[in-house]
Amino acid sequence: MKVTEAFKKGKPTLSFEFFPPKSRDQEKKLFEVIAQLKKFDPDFVSVTYGAMGTTREKTFFWVNEIKHKYGLEPVAHLTCVASTGDDISRQLEELEKMGVENILALRGDPPEGQAGFIPPANGFKLAKELISFIKKRKPSFCLGCAGFPEGHPGAPSLTADTDYLKQKIDAGAEYVITQLFFDNRYYFDFVKRCGKAGIKVPIIPGLMPITNLKQIKRITEVCGATIPGDLKIGAEHTLSQARELLKIGVPGLHFFVMNQAEPISSILTQVFPR
């Protein structure tokens, strides 16, 4: 099932994003968490790449397991990192053979210590280029892209960032999943900016429970999200965010799981109308 079809169900979508395990024990934990969260009947789930695309082959293995062993709809991440056009073509063929229908197309982050993103020879510098390439090569894939409620760290202004998001939509992206945020006002303002820019696709807010403050600080340094001064460890803050977002009628909720089932289970048991 394509993600765009899930929006037609008449209720908010639910989705999870898992992080790539680095060991066999962590991989075992990943599958345990997927099995635990399956009971909430998510519309789709995904597993991110590791740094510099280092887990790409394993990510495709996990995507295949998610679809065929756990019966969940996977969204495969594809990035511009360390991939030529030929590499992307081969990856599209592989995903198509698996029966995967959904892709989240991203530029990807430069390696730690590198000032800016440097594409490989015959690769892509921007996510919109990757999106356009996929649409031309394999138009049957349903494509999503990333949005930044507080603006991408590399964008010169919020207006420029929104204009670029519109370019990704025009290139073929059919929905947006936002980067994490801890103050819903950033999301509300983002949606207004997108509306004024002519962006009409669903914009799914991305939420992350605070289970490790040091980890959150590291993630927000990369994505540019603001950490409120009174933010506390635990799921309570995210629970409050989710309740408010559902109340105003968001198209769905996307949870960055951090491969821990308990915080997400606690939130969904209390708020998600399923």
Q: Give pLDDT, residue 52.
A: 46
> What is the helix (H) or strand (E) element at residue 210, kind and residue range?
none
User: pTM here?
Assistant: 0.92
Instruction: Report the chain's mean pLDDT, rounded to a whole number.
Output: 90
pLDDT tens track for 46-71: 988 754 445 567 889 999 999 999 99
| Domains, the chain, ordered by start | 3-271 (3.20.20.220)
Six-digit token string for 150: 């507080």
Cα(22)–Cα(14) distance, rounded to whole angstroms?
26
Q: What angle do CA 247, 16, 213 make, to 5 degrees?
A: 85
Burial of 57 by CB count in 10 Å (0-12 exposed, 13-18 middle, 19+ buried)?
exposed
Whether 246 has a pLDDT exceeding 90, the answer reads yes
DSSP state of 168: H
- Asked if 17 is an active-site residue, the reply is yes
E-strand spans in the chain?
Answer: 13-18, 44-47, 74-79, 102-106, 142-147, 175-180, 203-207, 252-256
Given the residues 17, 73, 101, 129, select the one marked as catalytic: 17
Whether 84 has a pLDDT exceeding 60, the answer reads yes
> What is the helix (H) or strand (E) element at residue 240, kind and residue range?
helix 236-247
Mean pLDDT confidence for 183-195? 97
Cα(68)–Cα(95) distance, rounded to whole angstroms?
13
Euclidean distance between the first and final Cα of the chain, in Å? 18
Whether 110 has a pLDDT exceeding 70, the answer reads no
